[in-house]
Structure 1
């Protein structure tokens, strides 16, 4: 798998991958989970930290990262269902970690949905653990 920065020509492939990996994007009561808006927003902020994994000509993985000068964040790690178990998720996370470390990021945070124990187990194998914090959120008006 080759990992490179997202190109807008990857949009349809990424949308297809995300619809498979994140079925919650289709939840009608969650308009904030608009993957097209997520791509547009990422392209406006640190687009160099949006990575795709490509096998041949096929986009099989994604990872978005961000850095605010204090903490880094990892978002939208996805690997095509038929390619899981081959180390591609690990490779994408490690690529994201190196990219953030290279710009001085001291710590990487991520959030996962509580109802995904397999996702938590995946990250635990990569050295991530639960911080003793409570995550709060508030939706801002559009």
Structure 2
């Protein structure tokens, strides 16, 4: 398999990227993936990188740098493009994007029952951190 081109997504990639995220089971009812995509593209410190295989999207990853840490979200590889190193290539592209912006550390969140994702990231050398993630939905709180 040839290596797909990895580049920054454009606004008109939104529908295809969200379809990919849905196909990979990355969306949740309480998140609006279209809004997530638009916010990432509109932010000065975030991006969505896409892997193109011809005209189709083979993969994507969202990256952001908050000034303290780099974050990775929505790493997705189309089911028919898996097991060929594309996930690894997307993570390398995300790390390059973050390094170029001076991020000293990369972090990401994985649901605790997602053994496949945990195994994938462990194989890339990522380690579980001794941190508890806390959160609150701001649109519903005063």
TM-score (norm 1): 0.90
Structure 1 residues 11-20 or 40-49, which shifts more?
40-49
Aligned to 1:133, the other structure's residue is in SS state: coil
The 3-state SS of whatever aligns with 2:125 is: coil
How far the C-alpha of 1:98 sits from its partner, in A, is 0.9
Deviation for aligned residue 1:141: 1.9
User: Which structure's residues are more often helix, by fraction?
Assistant: 1
Name the structure 2 match of 1:65.
63
Pick the aligned partner of 1:77 from 75, 78, 82: 75
Kept in 1, the 8 Å contact 2:17–2:57? The answer is yes
Q: Distance in 2 between matches of 1:47 and 1:8?
A: 16
| Superposition TM-score, scaled by structure 2 size | 0.90
**Distance of 1:71 and 1:43 partners within structure 2:** 18
5+ residue gaps in structure 2?
none
Contact 2:41/2:47 (8 A) holds in 1: no
SS in 1 for 2:110: coil
Instruction: Give me the whole-angstrom Cα distance separating, in 2, the residues matched to 1:111 and 1:69.
Output: 18
- Aligned residues, how many? 137
Matched with 1:94 is: 92
Once the two structures are TM-superposed, the CA of residue 37 in structure 1 deviates from its matched residue by 1.1
Kindly indicate whether residue 37 of structure 2 is the aligned counterpart of residue 13 of structure 1: no
**Of 117, 127, 130, which aligns to 2:128?**
130
RMSD between aligned residues? 1.5
* Worse-matched range after superposition: 73-82 or 48-57: 48-57
Q: Does 1:3 align with 2:1?
A: no
Q: Is the contact made by 1:42 and 1:50 (CA closer than 8 Å) also made in structure 2?
A: yes
CA distance in 2, matches of 1:127, 1:92: 15
Q: Would you identify which runs of 4 or more consecutive aligned residues in structure 1 move more than 2 Å?
A: 46-49
